Amino acid sequence: MKFTGIHTLVFSSSNMKAARRFYADWGLKKVSDGRAGAVFETAVGSRIIVRPTTAKALPAPAAPDMHFREMIWGVATERDLDAVRTEIAKDREVTVDPDGTIHCVDPSNVAVGFRVWKQNPAVKAPRAAFNGFEDIERVDQRAPIYDRATPIRMGHIGFVLPDIKAAEAFYHGRLGFPISDRYAKGAAVFMRCAPEEDHHNLFLISSHGGPTKFHHVAFEVRDIHEVFAGGIHFDAKGWETDVGPGRHPVSSAYFWYFKSPCEGAVEYYTDSDHVTEDWKPTSFRNNRFSEWHLVDGLQKRDDGKIRPSMSANVGQ
């Protein structure tokens, strides 16, 4: 089974006006908009769909009050789609749309779908040239200044789950998502959808028996300049920072998270580790969310502890 990435995420919203403005300000292209909902798209063609909470076409939420409704993964060929359908139909109900998209629910009751999809091959998004002491890329020219961010793709999605072992058995054991890294004591697992990919495409965090929650979706941009430009632009539009800008120690990526009116958070990121079959997973004993970050919009985590910020890391 060959997967090609996150194709679609579906949300419900009780405030469609805010949801429409949020994703437009985020830098996504509006593909369609009407009474049934709005569709937004990244550069490679991955999509966010937002529908009113009263819409009949919405999949059921995995837990009460969740606005996240479904994730749909792309696969490379019809043969891959048939292989996925054969595997998941062994122990769960599968439905099929007229366009061939298949749907089921995973062990956490999260709606998940699969369809044949290839990212837009025409997209070119080169990063800015950088200069280092022994590696000069930019000569006689200034670095670019971006007005805002234009997300290239949805790189990964995260959930908080009561039983990540069951979810890991489904995505890793049955669908073949490789394990990239773990947080110790079963706190979290990072998986990717292909042997060679970004550090992770699926991030599962243990709620230690608590409720299922949507955590965040991450949008890749060209470089660190665009992370900052996107965050500054989005902040100026009145949207509130969750945490960032900063840098993750596990994936090495630079990030900036914002609170979403559709639930959870959205993230601009860049410069993630790119790993292959030669990558050796690590179980991190120190489950550090960030190497450093500048701003905490939600300073206290669900467990009451404080996330390490720039000031908290000084002297460590």
238 and 90 within one domain: no
Q: Is 92 exposed, middle or buried (0-12, 13-18, 19+ CB in 10 A)?
A: exposed
Q: Does 42 map to a domain?
A: yes
Rounded CA gap, 228 and 234, in Å? 10
What is residue 173's DSSP assignment?
I
Between the alpha carbon of residue 283 and those of residues 202, 288, 304, the distances in Å are 16, 12, 23
Same-domain pairing of 32 and 159: no
Using only the alpha carbons of the chain, give its radius of gyration. 19
Provide the residue-wise pLDDT of the chain in tens; the chain has 316 residues: 999 999 999 999 999 999 999 999 999 999 999 999 999 999 999 999 999 999 988 999 999 999 999 999 999 999 999 999 999 999 999 999 999 999 999 999 999 999 999 999 899 999 999 999 999 999 999 999 999 999 999 999 999 999 999 999 999 999 999 999 999 888 999 999 999 999 999 999 999 888 999 999 999 999 999 999 999 999 999 999 999 999 999 999 999 999 999 999 999 999 999 999 999 999 988 778 889 899 876 444 455 555 554 444 433 3
Same domain, 110 and 187: no
As a dihedral over the C-alpha atoms of residue 90, residue 64, residue 264, residue 37, rounded to 10 degrees, the angle is: 80
Looking at residue 305, its pLDDT comes to 53
Residue 144 lies in a domain: no
Residues 185 and 293 in one domain: yes
Are 305 and 255 in contact by the 8 Å Cβ rule? The answer is no
Same domain for 176 and 67? no
- Strands 254-259 and 188-191, by their bridges, are unpaired
Query: What's the pLDDT at 307?
Result: 52
Reported as type and span, the H/E element at residue 111 is: strand 111-116
Contact 158, 215 (CB under 8 A): yes
Picking from 120, 242, 106, 114, the residue whose alpha carbon sits closest to that of residue 164 is 106
Same domain (yes/no): 189, 237 = yes
In a domain, 132, yes or no: no
Same domain, 163 and 95: no
- Domain hosting 38: range is 3-116
111 and 167, same domain (yes or no): no
Beta bridge partners of 306: 300
Question: Tokens in use for 89?
Answer: 């139909």
58 and 173 share a domain? no
Measure the CA–CA gap between 156 and 280, rounded to whole angstroms. Answer: 20
Residues facing 243 on adjacent strands: 257, 296
Give this prediction's pTM: 0.93
Q: How many domains does the chain have?
A: 2
Which amino acid, residue 157?
I
* Pair 267, 167 in one domain: yes
